[in-house]
Amino acid sequence: MTQTQTMSDTPEAPPSGRLDRYFSLTARGTTARTEVLAGMTTFLTMAYIVLVNPAILGSAGMPVASVAAATCFAAAFASILMGFVANVPLALAPGMGLNAYFSFTVVQQMGVPWPVALGCVFISGVAFLVLTLTGVRQLIVSSIPQYLFAAVAGGIGLFIGFIGFKDAGIVVANPATFVALGDLKAPGAALAIFGLVVIGALSVWNVRGAMLVGIVATTLVGWIAGMVSVSPEPYSLAALTGTAFQLDLGGVFGLSGKHGLGLLEILFVFLFVDLFDNIGTLVAVTKRAGLMDAAGRIPGLNRILVTDAVATIVGSMAGTSTVTSYVESAAGVQAGGRTGLTAVVTGVLFLATMFVAPYAQLIPLAATAPALIIVGGLMLLPLTEVEWEDPLSAIPAFLTVAMIPLTFSIANGLAFGITAHCALKIVRGSFAKKDWFLLVLALLFVARFVWMGGA
């Protein structure tokens, strides 16, 4: 996430009119100009998803240009909806981590066709919506210890980072040691290392849009070196529709046989991680924006989560993985964003980007891999919240963090972490009635491993 400098203290005329009344600009101490610049800042810090998401989902066999367009559309729709409905400076887009789970675990490892996987995303969005409207969501959140939130984020960070190193050719498979250092002199690895240096340097210098600039710069160097070929196919708006309305809901309920409990596992991960991701991001962004009340509550939380659920449903129909709120929104808040107008501006910019989306297929893996590595590293920050000196939290947290990248499965990490948490609480004699939900999950995970083994 790129940090930005705060807006200049130059006095501006107080906003007035319908825009001010709708977004409460004056009440929140901001102006239309500040909100527009904040929205642009947020866009620059998260625009890399337009290039990275197609690369990840494209490895699952989805048409890259169409995924890029779907990514832009989903981010635009979700951010604009969030701005108008919830009036918070929170931008959304297909989430990092869940896109990797969608591609590498659900499609490539479990063998689920990508249209069926999109159907799973759709159903998880509907489930999220129902849980929010019925109040069950609050029960789930309150029953899960905070350190598991942090452990899941850290494990996904390592998962994403490992994929980045693999795509770059920096880490390769080895039959003797499982993994080994790749040939760093190979063109792809060398180009990825160049991109890693560029993005790292720009991030240290607090350059807005460091990842986007780094990806583009790396692609240009690859083009000059003859590693990137320009597609001879002309630009066509038809390329934007390759994934639209391709989700297969019938196939979702047909998951059986070798998939076993696959459907429940897939839905659980999509729902669970989306919920964790949203709550963590909401707390971070609204606290920085000064939108939390005195009791630490987030005003309009249900409207925010309903918007997120609707965005995931619409995103799956457009042809992309789970849509979630982005912590990069904090960059826009740092730039002065305090209302939903910031999110609306970010969404409009994503909408404009959609019409150049087909050219995302020109971006090589070596250019997006550095962004995955950097993003993965940034996602380790929540691990500082784990009480590592306490075995009750340290052991489940470590199992969660380790098993996600080592088994290429967020579900396995959650299973080991939650089961260990319950087992250790029972052994220590501190298991309480409020832990019943986690105990049910742990028993289901144990049954799953007994029934399916390591499948």
CB 289 within 8 A of CB 216: no
- Mean pLDDT, range 281-291, rounded to an integer: 73
Does some domain include residue 336?
yes
In Å, how far from its chain's centre is CA 5? 24
Residues 303 and 288 in one domain: yes
Is the same domain home to 390 and 375?
no
Q: Are residues 436 and 371 in the same domain?
A: no
Domain termination site, one of 354, 385, 416 = 385
Report yes or no: 412 and 382 within 8 Å, Cβ to Cβ: no
Kindly state whether residues 125 and 181 are assigned to the same domain.
yes
pLDDT of 183-224, one tens digit each? 999 999 999 999 999 999 999 998 878 888 898 899 999 989
Distance of alpha carbon 338 from alpha carbon 332, whole angstroms: 9
Is 296 part of any domain? yes
What's the residue count for the chain? 455
**Chain Cα centroid distance, residue 391:** 29
Distance from C-alpha of 444 to C-alpha of 431, rounded to nearest angstrom: 18
Q: What is the pLDDT of residue 256?
A: 56
Are 36 and 141 contained in the same domain? yes
Residues 83, 180: one domain? yes
Q: What is the pLDDT of residue 230?
A: 59
Least confident residue range of 25-29, 135-139, 440-444: 135-139
**405 belongs to a structural domain:** yes
pLDDT band at 452 (very low <50, low <70, confident <90, very high): low
Among 385, 401, 435, the domain-final residue is 385
4 domain-assigned: no
Paired residues of 174 in beta bridges = 178
**303 in any annotated domain:** yes
Q: Is residue 292 part of a domain?
A: yes
Same domain, yes or no, for 405 and 284? no
Q: What is the pLDDT of residues 321-349, one digit of tens each?
A: 999 998 788 878 878 889 999 999 999 99
Q: Given this model, what pLDDT does residue 434 score?
A: 76
Position with higher pLDDT, 434 vs 341: 341
Average pLDDT, the chain: 85
pTM: 0.79
User: What pLDDT is recorded for position 44?
Assistant: 85
Does 11 map to a domain? Answer: no
Mean pLDDT of 242-265: 75
Domain shared by 179 and 214, yes or no: yes
Residues of the chain with pLDDT > 70, as a percent, come to 88
CB-count exposure of residue 447 (10 Å: 0-12, 13-18, 19+): exposed
Q: Which domain holds residue 135?
A: 18-233+242-385
Report the number of distinct structural domains present in the chain.
Answer: 2
Residue 66 sits in the same domain as residue 210 = yes
Domain boundary among 385, 404, 428: 385
> What is the per-residue pLDDT for 140?
74
pLDDT digits (tens, 9 = 90+) for 64-111: 889 999 999 999 999 999 999 999 999 999 998 889 989 998 999 888
Query: Are residue 213 and residue 304 in the same domain, yes or no?
Result: yes
- Does residue 7 belong to any structural domain of this protein? no
Q: What band does 16 get if pLDDT is binned at 50, 70 and 90?
A: low
- Please tell me whether residues 150 and 175 are part of one structural domain: yes
Residues 70 and 86 in one domain: yes
